[in-house]
Structure 1
Amino acid sequence: MCVACDWAPHFERFGLAVAKASGPSRRSVLRAGAAMGAAAAAGSLFRASEVLAQEASGPADFVFHNGPIHTVAGPTGVEAVAVTGKTIVHVGDKAGALKLAGPKTQVIDLNGRLLLPGFVEGHTHPFLGAFLTSGVDLQLATKKDALDAIATYAKEHPTGPIRGFGWRVDMFPPEGPTRADLDAVLPDRPGFFFAIDGHSLWANSKALEMAGVNRDTPDPIPRFSYFVRDQKGDPTGYVLEVNAVLSLVNAIEPISGAAMAELLEGWLPKAAAAGITTVFDAGVPPVGGDEGALIALYAESEKRGVLPFRVVASCSVKGPPIDTAVAVLKDVRSRVSTELVQVNVVKVIGDGSQGGYTAWLNAPYADKPDSTGGSPFTVEQWHQLIGAVDGAGYDVHVHACGERTAQVALDAFEKAIATNPPRDRRHAIAHLVYVEDADNARFGKLNVTAQFSANWSSADPDTLKNMRERLGEKRATNMYRTKTVLKEGGRVSFGTDWPAAGYFSTYKPLDSIEVGVTRQLVGQPDAPVLVPTDERLTVEEAIHANTLGAAYQLRLDDKIGSIAVGKLADLIVLDRDILKGDPHDIHKAKVELTLMNGKVRHQA
């Protein structure tokens, strides 16, 4: 499901200037502190906005009024919000906001539309999403549909390799797709197609031949990243996990850094139109072994004024050796540090996915009783890695689809907390397809954020059939227990994990919020509801997970994630109030305006 892994060999080394380190301005933080201090002395939140407005240079740039304002964590009944520069300077009554208006102030009549804080994506992959989703779209109903789409695309693009994204495991039997099916529609040109979970590949015979993959080719990581083989030992065309996938893709169609930058910048306006104002990039493809080279592209976009969101990026550890994790993070941080782009997290690729039997389980797969999946790390290495990163003062973000991975990660966090000096920790574990009862309660006790891709948690055909067959009844009827974590006192954040997906691939937070509330396929009120049905969130809880919950995870909750005086002006206007009405219509809401740092990044 998660795709943040070792995509390095696919990318050629390229030379790009890396942004020089520069610390972000702390003026707004200091101003906010002074304002809130004055507010405390005066006993009035609205008084704080008056203090801050007096310190702001000139009149407000924006005033929003005459519509519902959901602050997420502030007062209710707010009538208006005012913004000066990058900062929210008033959250309160309409009269007070209009007092701040000047001749050039944009006074925005919401006219019943909803004002929200900008969405904070707690786990996503902009570079990989822009790259993987190019080519033929295979998010279709059947294998025949996919093969027809490939044949049509090949006719329209008569030269070169054919690539695509989005096929689902429920199109095929448990042994997966085969090259023979592809060969029938693509006999003479190489073709390779990424699964919708981003963890596996479907390749034809020509692609295998070009990559030199045959019965004598060793598997990169036996039983974890490998080439599925038939009874004779020949590769079937089904390729699992990134190491094996890359050995094939890199041999056929490497991509340049310039092309990657172009793909990213083509997506940036779409992110702004979706209301995204902050992302956690949960793993970039290291270029020539250097993750910083790709992360620096964000900084280059920022220099050109086209980056519409702030970025917290991570450095990934996908397997041994583990002793360089802190040094690598420090190195990238020293080279890429700007106002909008920071590198603060070590990402641990803890296991794979249930779809490919590579998620690490406590009990065997129901339909593969000789396997519990696996992890790239031993238990001892888990403790060493997390202990070292935690001891150095950095946060860890773990990919954990299997319950064993979540359990071992929590154990390692618990040990690190007991061993290392006290500090403000913001560790997170992502995906959490199934978690044991006792471990759900540990998120709150250890203050580890439970990071969910809520858009996976629908009762779609893949979940109802394949996941049930793989996990068995107990686990398959207790997946994605978001509400349980909240009830146990834990913190929750949302992030789509785009382009990876359960059943459909989306980068839009509104899609994820809807599924988190309904546990049904988007826009289908008559579709089955994923059990347990009492794990459905309220709309308020889901919005919190995609704003302040994710902001806390990223250490940005003092600056963004809610509408409050002194916070940065990351705001969006929706064409409807999603807190009212049918939650199955949440995905229909249109983002009409996106502000990030007080600047218009999208306007419908």
Structure 2
Amino acid sequence: MCMSCSLTNAFGQLMTKAAGHRSPQAMPTGLARRRFVGAGLACAAVASQVRPHAALAQEARPDNGAGGPPDTIFRGGTVRTLAADRPLAEAVAVRGKTILAVGSNAEIDALAGPETRVIELAGRTMLPGFVEGHIHPFLGSFFTAGLDLQLPTRADALAAIARFAQDHPTGTLRGFGWRVDMFPPQGPSKEDLDRIVPDRPAFFFAIDGHSMWANSKALELAGVDRDTPDPIPGFSYYVRDAEGNPTGYVLEVAAVLAMVNKIEPISVEAMAGLLEGWLPKAAAAGITTIYDAGVPPVGDDQGAIIEVYTDLEREGRLPFRVVASYMMKGPPIEHAVSGVEDLRRRIDTELVQARVLKIVGDGTAEGYTALLLEPYTDRPDTIGQSPFSQEQWTSMVTEADAAGIDVHIHACGEGTTRLALNAIEAAIAANPPRDRRHSIAHLVLVDDADMPRFAELGANAQFSANWMSADPDTVDILLERYGPERQRQIYRPRSILNAGGTISFGTDWPAAGYFATYKPLDSIQIAVTRQLIGQPDAPVLEPADERLEVEQAVHANTMGAARQLRMEDRIGSIEPGKLADLVVLEQDIFGVGKHDIAKVRVEMTMMNGRFTHGGG
């Protein structure tokens, strides 16, 4: 599911060949076109005048002495603050980048000055800006460019490709989103595509990001034939027929990107341009902060792509703040901490920091690379694998913890979750007490014995709640992999909460098993229903009692993820002294039907006191 686990190194090597080392002057001119609505980024004061939270205000953003009335007042709505002492309000005042006051209409109206802009909510609902606790904007922008193939059947996919080819009569055709369950075990074939697109290249990425479907012309341009060696035999390869000819089904990232780079050479500039197209979509989804869980490096440099964010920030066009990672995919482990420290010194601006160690602990159950405690049901010869031994896990996490670095661990199998928890436990025993914010991500399967350990060790459980629907991936494919007993125990955020643990949400866009999305409201609805969106009568993913309340799901996508990123004193709730990260929804998602949450439109998004969506 988390395609970044195998993508980044191969991707970075290709980008290095295509583009060389990137400089700020190499930014595409297209990046200068878009402008977001709202105020500038100048600093402003933070004096709380209504129901003051003095300690919070002083900790989050001290008064700089400028004072004065608010720049913007929102009034006449339902303000769900997510603050423990005042969960509901009617109005909010914003000055500069900061929330000045929260209270009743009368209290906030009294603060207005002659230049204050008053926005009537007219019964609409305000929430804190959404915090994405695990997402891949660059990879998502690259993979999802082109045709969306998230469709029910192979026939639907082929019909969509035919229409797309007719609408785009020249050039390469590409897209994303076809699913493994559309095809027989041998996968998709080039012949299906050749009948539609015989004379130009066409290739389409699977929804998990680990495979590709290509036509004969794409194979020809990439130089892939019966004599072409597989990049990683037995792991990343070109599926072949009985005569040894490639079928058009390409598995795993080394082979996929080798082909793509021959057909459409990859460059940092191209990646930046694709990201530009996604930024307004993120703002329209209400996203105001992200954890970028892995970018492709340029050669050995994991910071080159992250610097695209800082370029956008300098231009005043970055619509969210970013916490980024240094990624470890396998041994040797000696450079893990120094890698984070180098990035942390290099990239540390107001909106962008690179300060987390991302550890790719295993792969996916779909590919038999998630590490389990017991063998796979349909392959009893294997339990999967982790790139690291328990000794390496312990050494890496303990050293990072001693350096004050938070780790974020990809763990789909319950075996990897145990290794990760063991390493965190060892770090706690070895190092002095501190405020730790280590996270374990995805958690498709967690053993009962490990559920209470999240609370005991203070480890955050990071879920992609949009994966939690009953669908052909979670029901059919995972039933084959795990067997019925284990399959009925997948994705259990409520159990971790009940055991005293903390959870956060992040979509992991574009990676998915069945439904790829970057929209927090999609995740929130699925967490509440455990059903596919748009199908109120759809099956509920077992265990059904793992469904969350709306408040729990919203908290995971705001305060929970803010805490994960060490930002809960500045974002995640609507309180005086915090940064003005706000979303206005056309309806109250706490009041609409649980199957209608994802339909609710985000009408305004404000980040750091400026509108990034709506508000014009």
TM, length-normalised to structure 2: 0.89
1:363-382 alignment runs, 5 A limit: 363-382=374-393
Partner of 1:417: 428
Give the alignment's Cα RMSD to 1 decimal: 2.8
> Pick from 55, 65, 74: which aligns with 1:64?
74
1:473-512 alignment runs, 5 A limit: 473-512=484-523
> Pick from 84, 87, 90: which aligns with 2:98?
87
Partner of 1:259: 270
The answer (yes or no) to whether the contact 1:2–1:199 under 8 Å persists in 2 is: no
**1-structure distance, mates of 2:64, 2:136:** 41
Partner of 1:2: 2
1:349-498 alignment runs, 5 A limit: 349-498=360-509
1:285-304 alignment runs, 5 A limit: 285-304=296-315
Post-superposition CA distance 1:519-544 (Å, at most 9, x none): 11113211111111110000000000
Moved more, 120-129 or 282-291: 282-291
Post-superposition CA distance 1:292-314 (Å, at most 9, x none): 11111111111111111111111
**1-structure distance, mates of 2:526, 2:70:** 37
Give the direction of change, closer, same or farther, for the CA distance of 1:431–1:130 in structure 2 (3 Å limit).
same
Equivalent residue letter for 1:381: Q
> Pick from 508, 520, 536: which aligns with 2:547?
536
**2-structure distance, mates of 1:93, 1:53:** 23
The answer (yes or no) to whether the contact 1:283–1:315 under 8 Å persists in 2 is: yes
C-alpha deviation, 1:161, in angstroms: 3.6
> Pick from 125, 145, 153: which aligns with 1:134?
145
**2-structure distance, mates of 1:390, 1:603:** 41
Partner of 1:198: 209
The answer (yes or no) to whether the contact 2:45–2:64 under 8 Å persists in 1 is: no
C-alpha deviation, 1:564, in angstroms: 1.1
**2-structure distance, mates of 1:191, 1:342:** 38
Equivalent residue letter for 2:67: S
Partner of 1:13: 20
Moved more, 403-412 or 477-486: 403-412
Give the direction of change, closer, same or farther, for the CA distance of 1:403–1:183 in structure 2 (3 Å limit).
farther
Partner of 1:322: 333
State the SS of the aligned residue for 2:560.
helix
The answer (yes or no) to whether the contact 1:64–1:110 under 8 Å persists in 2 is: yes
Equivalent residue letter for 2:13: P
State the SS of the aligned residue for 1:355.
coil
**2-structure distance, mates of 1:206, 1:245:** 15
Give the direction of change, closer, same or farther, for the CA distance of 1:378–1:248 in structure 2 (3 Å limit).
farther
Equivalent residue letter for 1:57: G
**1-structure distance, mates of 2:255, 2:327:** 18
**1-structure distance, mates of 2:246, 2:418:** 34
Partner of 2:159: 148
**2-structure distance, mates of 1:472, 1:128:** 32
Give the direction of change, closer, same or farther, for the CA distance of 1:420–1:496 in structure 2 (3 Å limit).
same
1:587 has 2:595 as partner: no
C-alpha deviation, 1:407, in angstroms: 1.6
Equivalent residue letter for 1:129: G
Quote the sequence identity (%).
61
**1-structure distance, mates of 2:235, 2:52:** 52
C-alpha deviation, 1:365, in angstroms: 2.0
**1-structure distance, mates of 2:203, 2:140:** 16
**2-structure distance, mates of 1:516, 1:459:** 11
C-alpha deviation, 1:450, in angstroms: 0.7
Post-superposition CA distance 1:450-504 (Å, at most 9, x none): 1111011011233222221222101211111010110011111011111112322
1:166 has 2:173 as partner: no
Equivalent residue letter for 2:24: A
The answer (yes or no) to whether the contact 1:496–1:507 under 8 Å persists in 2 is: yes
Post-superposition CA distance 1:202-252 (Å, at most 9, x none): 334444455455667665556554444556666544333333432332233
The answer (yes or no) to whether the contact 1:240–1:356 under 8 Å persists in 2 is: no
The answer (yes or no) to whether the contact 2:44–2:95 under 8 Å persists in 1 is: no
C-alpha deviation, 1:159, in angstroms: 4.5
The answer (yes or no) to whether the contact 1:25–1:339 under 8 Å persists in 2 is: no
Partner of 2:29: none
Equivalent residue letter for 1:262: G
Q: Which runs of 4+ in 1 moved over 6 A?
A: 24-29, 51-54
1:551 has 2:562 as partner: yes
**2-structure distance, mates of 1:473, 1:304:** 53
**2-structure distance, mates of 1:38, 1:26:** 19
The answer (yes or no) to whether the contact 1:61–1:106 under 8 Å persists in 2 is: yes
Give the direction of change, closer, same or farther, for the CA distance of 1:487–1:339 in structure 2 (3 Å limit).
same
Give the direction of change, closer, same or farther, for the CA distance of 1:52–1:100 in structure 2 (3 Å limit).
farther
State the SS of the aligned residue for 1:116.
strand
Give the direction of change, closer, same or farther, for the CA distance of 1:222–1:430 in structure 2 (3 Å limit).
farther
Post-superposition CA distance 1:299-358 (Å, at most 9, x none): 111111111111111121122222212222222222222111111111112222222222
Give the direction of change, closer, same or farther, for the CA distance of 1:436–1:229 in structure 2 (3 Å limit).
farther
The answer (yes or no) to whether the contact 1:18–1:296 under 8 Å persists in 2 is: no
**1-structure distance, mates of 2:426, 2:63:** 47
> Pick from 132, 135, 143: which aligns with 1:124?
135
TM, length-normalised to structure 1: 0.91
Equivalent residue letter for 1:2: C
Moved more, 154-163 or 215-224: 215-224
Moved more, 544-553 or 411-420: 411-420
The answer (yes or no) to whether the contact 1:228–1:235 under 8 Å persists in 2 is: yes
State the SS of the aligned residue for 2:24.
coil
State the SS of the aligned residue for 1:356.
coil
**2-structure distance, mates of 1:412, 1:571:** 37
Give the direction of change, closer, same or farther, for the CA distance of 1:353–1:187 in structure 2 (3 Å limit).
farther
Partner of 2:38: none
State the SS of the aligned residue for 2:554.
helix
Partner of 2:32: none
Moved more, 353-362 or 178-187: 178-187
State the SS of the aligned residue for 1:69.
strand
1:176 has 2:183 as partner: no
State the SS of the aligned residue for 1:465.
helix
Partner of 2:34: none
Give the direction of change, closer, same or farther, for the CA distance of 1:376–1:182 in structure 2 (3 Å limit).
farther
Partner of 2:260: 249
C-alpha deviation, 1:404, in angstroms: 1.4
**1-structure distance, mates of 2:171, 2:205:** 17
Give the direction of change, closer, same or farther, for the CA distance of 1:25–1:312 in structure 2 (3 Å limit).
farther
Post-superposition CA distance 1:417-465 (Å, at most 9, x none): 2122322111111111111111122111111111111011011233222
**1-structure distance, mates of 2:233, 2:567:** 40
Give the direction of change, closer, same or farther, for the CA distance of 1:378–1:185 in structure 2 (3 Å limit).
farther
Equivalent residue letter for 1:600: F
Give the direction of change, closer, same or farther, for the CA distance of 1:374–1:211 in structure 2 (3 Å limit).
farther
1:96 has 2:107 as partner: yes
Moved more, 520-529 or 237-246: 237-246
**2-structure distance, mates of 1:125, 1:219:** 27
1:591-602 alignment runs, 5 A limit: 591-602=602-613
State the SS of the aligned residue for 1:150.
helix
**1-structure distance, mates of 2:326, 2:454:** 23
Give the direction of change, closer, same or farther, for the CA distance of 1:586–1:157 in structure 2 (3 Å limit).
same
